[in-house]
């Protein structure tokens, strides 16, 4: 019998362009017909060490729409919080669950969990990356533009955070262009840029970092932003708000961009800090469609990861009439 190698979803670049496009295609089919009995009897575990609205709720609703169930586990509920090792926890939970989402601080914890688990492990956000957000963002752009290749995303604000770093690899992988508009201390790490450049079919031309947000957005297809103070950075709040004050996505910045530009934000947003309330609610904004798409894309991800390959459940999807 052939052993099946389990697949995890820890970083966007662990999957190739073809696999991501397949995921987007499946997301579209599940969005068109949301209730599908593809994961009956499957259970998703969810360990969250940080707060969440979208990730938690969309995974819980998503697995239930697919016929499965979920168990939400905060660190305090688990013996992990009292010193049981990650390795033992991963090995034991693998005996009960079919997949596990982890949201935590240190990226290496997710990697270690995945190393010891025999079930697919999904990164629900770490200090370094947020790949579930990335598939949602790619799907949302594709839905509007029917293409990804060649499009230019301008990421304004904290270009060194988890969402920005994931964008670096996501854009490279999908043949998009990425411009980070931020003060130099908030540009992505050069080591990450070097690795992303290797992935991009455009080479070094796919990426630029600049302090001039207005020039960067002149040919933007998408303007993207995220909070200036991510979870775990609360002590740096005062400094960050001061450093990034000139990088708000507001009406003046959007005016400098092409008329059809799309404005995105992974949420939660701090209206009046990284984005003005007016821009969030204006026609350019696709932010709430983007939030909805977390549900559809994570359902696709769960089907891809938990499917019993011998039964090929994707072929059992009922299409809309
Ligand atoms: N965008 C996102 O991951 O939101 P939550 O923190 O609410 O899950
Ligand atoms: N950069 C933000 C993203 C929240 C979804 C954070 O880590 O808090």
Nearest atom in ligand 2 to the alpha carbon of residue 233 is 8
pLDDT tops 50 at residue 310: no
| Residue among 129, 294, 295 to mutate when testing ligand 1 (max atoms within 8 A of CB) | 294
| Residues of the domain holding 64 | 12-130+293-310
Whole-number Å distance between alpha carbons of 49 and 98: 20
Q: What percent of the chain has pLDDT over 70?
A: 95
Mutate which of 52, 72, 102, 292 for ligand 1 pocket (most atoms within 8 A of beta carbon) = 52
Mark whether 297 and 248 lie in a shared domain: no
pLDDT of 16 above 50: yes
Determine phi and psi for 95, rounding to 5 degrees.
-80, -20
CB 98 within 8 A of CB 43: yes
Instruction: Reduce the DSSP state of residue 65 to 3 states and report it.
Output: helix
Tens of pLDDT, residues 139-183: 999 999 999 999 999 999 999 999 999 999 999 999 999 999 999
The closest-lying atom of ligand 1 relative to the alpha carbon of residue 130 is 3
Query: Does the residue 1 lie in any domain?
Result: no
Question: In this structure, are 118 and 23 located in the same domain?
Answer: yes
Q: Is 171 helix (H, G, I), strand (E, B) or coil?
A: helix
Task: Take residue 94 and report the two structure tokens written for it.
Answer: 């693998």
Q: How many CB atoms lie within 10 A of CB 304?
A: 17
Tell whether 143 and 155 lie within a shared domain: yes
Looking at the CA of residue 229, tell me the nearest atom of ligand 2.
8
Q: 19-46: buried (b, 16+ CB within 10 Å) or exposed (e) per residue?
A: ebeebbebbbbbbeeeebebbeebbbbb
124 and 158 both lie in a single domain:
no
Of 54, 104, 163, best ligand 2 pocket probe by most atoms within 8 Å of the beta carbon: 163
Per residue in 262-286, pLDDT (tens digit) is 999 999 999 999 999 999 999 999 9
Locate 142 and state its tokens: 């594709």
Give the max Cα distance, the chain: 62
Ligand 1 mean position to 237 CA, how many Å?
Answer: 19
* Residue of minimum CA distance from atom 6 in ligand 1: 52
For residue 155, the domain's CATH number is: 3.40.50.1370
Ligand 1 site residues (CB inside 6 A) read: 52-55, 125, 133, 266-268
Same domain, 252 and 305: no
Q: What is the pTM of this model?
A: 0.95
Q: Are residues 126 and 209 in the same domain?
A: no
Q: Return the residue whose CA atom lies nearest to atom 6 of ligand 2.
A: 230
Residue 185 CB contacts under 8 Å (≥ 6 apart), including other chains:
160, 243
Whether 126 and 136 share a structural domain = no
How close is the Cα of 201 to the center of ligand 1, in Å? Answer: 30
Nearest CA to ligand 1 atom 4: 54
Helix (H) or strand (E) holding 298: helix 287-306
pLDDT band at 5 (very low <50, low <70, confident <90, very high): confident
């Amino acid at each position: 019998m052939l052993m099946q190698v389990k697949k995890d979803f820890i970083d966007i670049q662990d999957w190739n362009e073809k696999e991501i496009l397949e995921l987007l295609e499946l997301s579209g089919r599940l969005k068109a017909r949301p209730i599908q009995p593809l994961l009956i009897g499957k259970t998703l575990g969810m360990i969250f060490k940080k707060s969440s609205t979208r990730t938690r709720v969309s995974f819980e609703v998503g697995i239930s729409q697919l016929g499965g169930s979920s168990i939400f586990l905060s660190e305090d509920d688990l013996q992990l919080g009292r010193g049981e090792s990650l390795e033992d926890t991963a090995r034991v939970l693998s005996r009960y669950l079919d997949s596990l989402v982890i949201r935590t601080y240190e990226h290496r914890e997710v990697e270690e969990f995945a190393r010891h688990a025999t079930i697919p492990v999904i990164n629900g956000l770490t200090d370094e990356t947020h790949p579930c957000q990335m598939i949602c963002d790619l799907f949302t752009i594709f839905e509007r533009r029917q293409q990804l290749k060649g499009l230019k995303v301008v990421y304004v604000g904290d270009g060194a955070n988890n969402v920005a770093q994931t964008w670096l690899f996501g854009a490279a992988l999908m043949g998009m262009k990425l411009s980070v508009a931020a003060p130099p201390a908030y540009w992505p790490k050069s080591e990450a840029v070097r690795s992303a450049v290797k992935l991009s079919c455009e080479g070094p031309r796919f990426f630029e970092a600049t302090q001039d947000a207005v020039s960067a957005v002149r040919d933007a297809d998408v303007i993207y932003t995220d909070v200036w103070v991510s979870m775990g950075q609360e002590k740096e709040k005062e400094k960050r708000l001061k450093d990034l004050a000139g990088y708000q996505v507001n009406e003046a910045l959007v005016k400098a961009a092409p008329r059809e530009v799309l404005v995105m934000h992974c949420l939660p947003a701090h209206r009046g800090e990284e984005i003005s309330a007016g821009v969030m609610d204006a026609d350019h904004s696709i932010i709430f469609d983007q939030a909805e798409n977390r549900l559809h894309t994570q359902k696709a991800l769960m089907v891809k990861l938990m499917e019993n390959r011998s039964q090929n459940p994707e072929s059992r999807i009922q299409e809309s009439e």
